[in-house]
Chains A and B, each alone.
Chain A
């Protein structure tokens, strides 16, 4: 069965610090998809990135970057020069083809990031 582990539960940084959020996943499938979602204090879940298992290229989007390493089953998320608006709960999630056409997301427990001014 698939599993997502976010070992860090809470992280607190000062504005402009870099911060890395860790995500480790388990799946028996060779085809799978990894996601990061952000849940700000307002409560909605905001999609940040999707990565498929065949694409190990790291991705950068502005201050956000993602490091996918199949060898260690990790998909880590780094925020560079953090800002107060980055304060939120961040979820890593996994969807794999074991479920066929069904694509339920298995979420980690989430990491609460607090960025202090």
Chain B
């Protein structure tokens, strides 16, 4: 158990809908990262927050947004969902940044029908 929690574990929804994925980092970690894992794209970095502020953006679509709250938990919002958004979404956390190990949550498997 990495200490990072993600909810829900599975999510099935329809095209055009909006969903919210939730992540709680390990105790003491200030950075939260979101990654998407799909068969065709592999594991791709989406976005990083550090102590409530956005720090880095990767290949995140404009339909996706995220935030980190004062208690350091983070939410990833996915809207106007398309079939291609079906993937495993991971949250990871680390103490700070570049030199720190990222520990991953169990992931949320999103299926868009």
**Which chain A residues have a beta carbon within 8 Å of chain B's beta carbons?**
33, 35, 37, 43-47, 50, 52, 91, 95-97, 99-110
**Which chain B residues have a beta carbon within 8 Å of chain A's beta carbons?**
2, 31, 33, 35, 42-45, 48, 50, 55-56, 58, 88, 90, 92, 94, 96-107, 109
Q: Which of A52, A100, A105, A109 contacts B102 (CB 8 A)?
A: A105
Smallest beta-carbon distance A115→chain B, Å = 22
10 A-B pairs with C-beta separation under 8 A: A44-B2, A46-B104, A50-B101, A102-B50, A102-B56, A103-B100, A104-B45, A104-B56, A107-B43, A110-B43
**What residues of chain A lie closer than 8 Å to B55, measured between beta carbons?**
101-102
Q: A43-B88, A43-B109 are in contact. Are A102 and B104 (CB under 8 A)?
A: no
**What residues of chain A lie closer than 8 Å to B2, measured between beta carbons?**
44, 46-47
**What residues of chain B lie closer than 8 Å to A101, measured between beta carbons?**
50, 55, 96-98
**What residues of chain B lie closer than 8 Å to A95, measured between beta carbons?**
98, 102
Q: A47 to B98, Cβ gap below 8 A?
A: no
**What residues of chain A lie closer than 8 Å to B42, measured between beta carbons?**
107-110
Pick the 4 closest A-B CB pairs, nearest first.
Answer: A102-B56, A45-B104, A103-B98, A104-B45
